[in-house]
Amino acid sequence: MDRRQEEIVQRLMTSYCEVGGINHVDSGNLPSKKAIAVLCGDLLQVLFPGFFSEDALTSQDLELLTHERVAGIRERLNIEVRRSLRLRDSQGENLDEAAMKLVDEFMANLPAVRQLLQTDVQAAFDGDPAARSFEEIILAYPGLEAIAIQRSAHHLYQAGVPLLPRMMTEWAHSRTGIDIHPGAKIGSHFFIDHGTGVVIGETSEIGAHVKLYQGVGLVAKSLAAGQALAGKKRHPTLEDHVTIYAGATIVGGDTIIGARSVIGANVFLMESVAPDMVYALGDQEHRIRGRKKQEPVRKEPSIGIA
């Protein structure tokens, strides 16, 4: 046996005994990140039939293919939900029955998710003059993909499924750069333009017809209290028809942005804003000057040596 490898393994075994909290042994399988990634991809195919598959889809094939996809999602999601439920403190709960019930409720909610997503696509088309078609928005706008997964995961979050909803939105986060917690409550006609760096916290509440640009953060105040704040309102509320421009950060559970208000770029805001207001940074001094011309470097003639 390789003595060096044996030494490494034994040191790791000692670490496993001494360093707790980051081991998961003798407790059953956790949800699989790989399986969640496949499930999210399958969900997008069900939510947007014909958009996320390689083969062309005809109306004659739609029902049969939908049967196959729904059956596959139900089977695989049931496994992952059952694994997640092991983390829930429910003594005597029949995990098989509970998982199947949750999965069926989740699948039955997908038509309602599709209705909301149609409004999100419409909002993107109406709000972005660069958009040429619904097809472009569905296939090329990262905000829509992040919203689609969040709206799906939100149902599991509300049903009390541990871990799995967050894994779903983190899958979307890794693909899009947009971090929307599954607990956030989001109304219809939601549009995230460009999207990179957007963060929406767990207890955020967003009304209808809200538009965010890249780098917007809906975040909590200093979390020095840690777990004592769990379950409390920590993130802002945006009322209907609010627009928030790039790089703005809105902070705190008591902060409410009133309906139809506009928050300018790069604002850091910890107070509420009344409806129909524009909140922006004050005048900033900008100076424009020509670039200093550099004197040409004079080169001394070289002296050759014969």
Q: How far apart are CA 56 and CA 176, in angstroms?
A: 25
What pTM value is reported for the model? 0.87
Return mean pLDDT, the chain: 91
First to last CA, the chain: 71
Could you tell me the fold of the domain covering 27-177?
serine acetyltransferase, domain 1 (1.10.3130)
| Residue 241 per-residue DSSP state | T
pLDDT tens profile 220-268: 987 666 777 888 899 999 999 999 999 999 999 999 999 999 999 999 9
Strand, coil or helix: what is 30? coil
Q: In terms of DSSP bridges, do strands 211-212 and 256-257 run parallel, antiparallel, or are they unpaired?
A: unpaired
pLDDT tens profile 32-86: 999 999 999 999 999 999 888 877 788 888 999 999 999 999 999 999 999 999 8
Q: In terms of DSSP bridges, do strands 237-238 and 179-180 run parallel, antiparallel, or are they unpaired?
A: unpaired
Domain boundaries of the chain, sorted by first residue: 27-177, 197-281
What CATH architecture applies to the domain 197-281? 3 Solenoid (2.160)
